[in-house]
A and B are shown apart, each in its own frame.
Chain A
Amino acid sequence: MRSFILIFAWLVTANLAQAADFGGLLRGVLGGVQTGPSAQEAAANGNNNNAPLGNLIGALLAGQTTPEQERLIGQQIAGNLLGAAPLVRDDALQRYVNRVGRWVASTSERPDLAWRFGVIESEDINAFAAPGGYVFVTKGLYRRLQNEAELAAVLGHEIGHVIRQHHLKLLQQSQMIAAVGGLFGQRLGNRSQVIQNLIGNGAEIVARSLDKDAEYEADRIGMVLTARAGYDPYALPAVLQEIGHVPAQDSRLALLYKTHPHPEDRLARLGEAAEAAGPGLPEGRLVDKRFYRLK
């Protein structure tokens, strides 16, 4: 019994140490990970467990997370991000962003997610999404928006990441999870610690690069959701152009440029996609009168 505890303690420590290097590890393995048989096994185990957390790792590996599991992962990431950059203390602003965001999200195929939107204290120009329906815009980006349609477009891009589960897929692709999954399943530590180990350190996952195609896909979705919600579909290109106006070496764009294709490429891809779609996108509203401007 005693030796079991010792081994257990060693494994936990090893696990934490590995988690600390999660980001670096992940970068090396992105794109080429085989999750074959072990993933299927893990999924089979996961299906027998009805607890909200369930076999989170197995479910992730098999790409079969339940909405509850997705939510828990997102909650942890969102909580971490807010630890780095808290919500702007402006109730009217936060409520406004939630109203606009929820409306845009309701035109997607996942209208029932517990969507939460927030403007965070950072002069960076960026926006973030986390699984389960969490979307954040920095104050620096919000300040550059001209009207509600542009806000809807930015939120729409992030909503695109959520509904296509881009960050979940990123987690799924990591060898780290395969290792942890094989060793422990979900049976150690408390829930928060398990998820923390899973997502790596802090809110770093939101800063990790998705592949470029995921970004282009989110752009196309953002443009369409903006149009579906009745806004001007060209609001997203307008925001991208606005970002293009900021000198690229501006440090407030450092993280955005590190994790996203250049606005020029995004505009070009959007242009190709919109052109291929034929008759063109419907016109829509900008809604600038009630657009909430920062004090």
Chain B
Amino acid sequence: MKSLRMCCALLALAALPVWAAPGVMLRDDSLRSAPAATAPLLGTVAKGQTVEMLGRQGAWSQIQVGNRTGWVRLLSVRGGAAAQTDVAGELAGVLALGTTRRDPGRVVAVAGVRGLSEEELKLAQYDPRQLERLESYAVTQAEAARFAAEAGLARRELAYLPAPQTAARGEGERSGQP
């Protein structure tokens, strides 16, 4: 078991370079030496700080800030810096798909694939044959449960997360149901 964990850790490390991407801190957070709340503190990272995102493990993101590397809570950081990221890569991907983007509000696609601008959705025609196809892929609850078990997935009881205070106020105001 322990060796398995080591193996996983090594794999995670091996995957790091692929992941590296710019990010921005969404809030102040502690920088720790390992992905655990009990891990030694390396310092703090301030909200708004741009960082390099190296990888993730569970609820934790590994980041590099300046010459320091450590772990912060996953939800404390978001990907995508103010500066553009990997534009060349994105562009290559788009070109490879035969898509052009002259008009930023709309995807112009070739090869029979239409984009999903609002206008195109508005003009969409009901397609009963596609709906039939969709029906043919339906699976039963029992079949889905079997498939989940094959991957070692087991159901867990867990309550829904309450809305954070700021959001809860807005939701309350709007519920005018009889």
Contact = CB atoms under 8 A, between A and B. Distances in A.
Interface of A: 23, 31, 36, 39-40, 62-63, 75-76, 78-87, 91, 94-95, 97-103, 106-107, 111-112, 114-118, 121-124, 126, 138, 148, 192, 196, 201-204, 206-207, 211-213, 216-217, 220-221, 223-224, 227-234, 237-238, 240-252, 254-255, 258, 263-264, 267-277, 280-283, 285, 287, 290
Nearest to B105: A254
A29 to B, nearest CB: 14
Contact of A62 (B26, B86, B152, B178): B178
Nearest to A101: B144
A58 B113 CA distance: 38
B116 A79 contact: no
A272 B164 contact: yes
B87 A124 contact: no
A254 B73 CA distance: 29
Contact of A285 (B107, B152, B164): B152
Given A63-B177, A232-B58, A103 B145 contact: yes
Contacts of B101: 250-251
Contacts of A213: 163, 167, 170-171, 174
Contacts of A121: 113
A241 B79 contact: yes
Contacts of B56: 234, 238
Given A75-B131, A285-B153, A228 B158 contact: yes
Given A85-B114, A251-B103, A245 B121 contact: no
Given A229-B153, A241-B78, A270-B75, 7 more contacts: A83-B124, A122-B115, A122-B116, A213-B167, A213-B171, A220-B160, A228-B155
B108 to A, nearest CB: 8
A267 B74 CA distance: 9
Interface in B92-146: 94, 97, 99, 101, 103-107, 109, 113-118, 120-128, 130-131, 133-135, 137-141, 143-145
Contacts of A39: 178
Contacts of A254: 104-107, 117
A244 B80 contact: yes
Given A31-B174, A78-B131, A268 B27 contact: yes
A274 B131 contact: no
A86 B80 contact: no
B80 A227 contact: no
A99 B144 contact: yes
A269 B164 contact: yes
A251 B126 CA distance: 25
Contacts of A290: 150-151
A206 B118 CA distance: 9
A290 B105 CA distance: 36
A106 B146 CA distance: 12
Nearest to B87: A247
A228 B77 CA distance: 24
A204 to B, nearest CB: 4
B73 to A, nearest CB: 7
B64 interface: no
A224 B160 contact: yes
B76 interface: yes
B105 A82 contact: no
Contacts of B106: 251, 254
A245 B134 contact: no
A87 B122 contact: no
A116 B170 contact: no
A237 B74 contact: yes
B121 A207 contact: yes
A234 B137 contact: no
B130 A273 contact: no
A17 to B, nearest CB: 15
A106 B77 CA distance: 31
Residue from B121, B158, B178 with most neighbouring chain A CB atoms (10 Å): B121
Contacts of B34: none
A241 B23 contact: yes
Contacts of B117: 254-255
